[in-house]
Structure 1
Amino acid sequence: MGSLPVKYLLDTHAWIWALEAPEKLPDPIRAMLLEPDHLPFGLAAISPWEVAKKASKGLLQLSMPVRQWVAHATQAPFIELLPLSVDIALESAHLPAPFHKDPADQMIVATARMHSLVLISADQRLRDYPHVQTKWK
């Protein structure tokens, strides 16, 4: 995609659910995935790593081997993979307190903040964090 501005960033679980179990997404989020005005959705570069880590620990079952799934899922027409820049890495280490210690969440929130994106997430900890705009319902 790349030619349209990204407005939203999918948290890792929202990306997985969009492809594997869209019924887990709230109706408004599923509808957004079908509306060209909302596309593409950004995806933090750390999300494929998070998927691979969870799959390797047996915490995530995918419809195909993880390398194949990530290759397919990062090429989904509604996804724009956002690279991990030095600025995002530094931002993730200096998020305004309070923030929990999950490095993937830190990178995802930093990506949303650096790109001024709304984070699509079911994670209540992220939705309660006052320094990033979120959407779920």
Structure 2
Amino acid sequence: MAKPSDLLLDTCAAIWMAQGAHLEPDALGAIDQSGEEGRPIRLSLITAWELGLLAKRGRAAMAQPPGAIFRAFLQLPGIVQQDLTADILIDSSQLPQPVHGDPADRIIIATARALDLTIVTRDRLILDYAALGHVRALAC
């Protein structure tokens, strides 16, 4: 049996996980398995940028500043920060077509591809991209 890949949360998945929202059974199982095996669940630095945009645009009610929320995510059991590299940023601009138009989602996709990660997401466009075989994703 192949070793499961580590997980990479997209921004919405991180928010739902932090709020204790309902997650799909497969995603919840993968998250639990990662914890049981001591494998990290990764959170991209681009999520900090997205939180700032959500707050500025008033698209998400936030009880704390975006930086505090991002740091709180990193305090959740098993969550680790996934840094960005120049190669990941460059790769995000050169992904196979058809690809998501959102720059943050492109960076998350490029990160997953570069590091052999599975994206945990509800984003239909990322899930559709995964269905084409360009990246692994798990609906949450």
TM-score, with normalisation over the residues of structure 2? Answer: 0.84
Q: Which residue of 1 aligns with 2:57?
A: 57
Per-residue Cα deviation, 1:62-118 (whole angstroms, up to 9, x for no partner): 343322211211232221111110110111010011113210001000000000111
Q: 1:121 corresponds to which letter in structure 2?
A: T
Q: Which deviates more, 121-130 or 106-115?
A: 121-130
- CA drift of 1:38 comes to 6.7
Contact 2:100 2:126 in 1 (8 A): no
Decide whether aligned partners of structure 1 residues 42 and 119 sit closer, same or farther in structure 2, where only a CA change above 3 A counts.
Answer: same
- CA drift of 1:43 comes to 1.3
Contact 2:43 2:80 in 1 (8 A): yes
Q: Which deviates more, 34-43 or 65-74?
A: 34-43
Decide whether aligned partners of structure 1 residues 67 and 44 sit closer, same or farther in structure 2, where only a CA change above 3 A counts.
Answer: closer
Contact 2:52 2:66 in 1 (8 A): yes
Q: Which residue of 1 aligns with 2:31?
A: 33
Q: Distance in 2 between matches of 1:30 and 1:64?
A: 26
Q: Which deviates more, 34-43 or 107-116?
A: 34-43
State the Cα RMSD in Å.
Answer: 2.0
Q: Which residue of 1 aligns with 2:14?
A: 15
Q: Distance in 2 between matches of 1:32 and 1:18?
A: 13
Identity of aligned residues (%): 33
Secondary structure of 1:22 counterpart: coil
Gaps of 5+ in 1: none
Contact 1:6 1:40 in 2 (8 A): no
Q: 2:91 corresponds to which letter in structure 1?
A: E
Q: Distance in 1 between matches of 2:9 and 2:37?
A: 16
TM-score, with normalisation over the residues of structure 1? Answer: 0.86
Q: Distance in 1 between matches of 2:74 and 2:52?
A: 13
Q: Distance in 2 between matches of 1:103 and 1:38?
A: 31
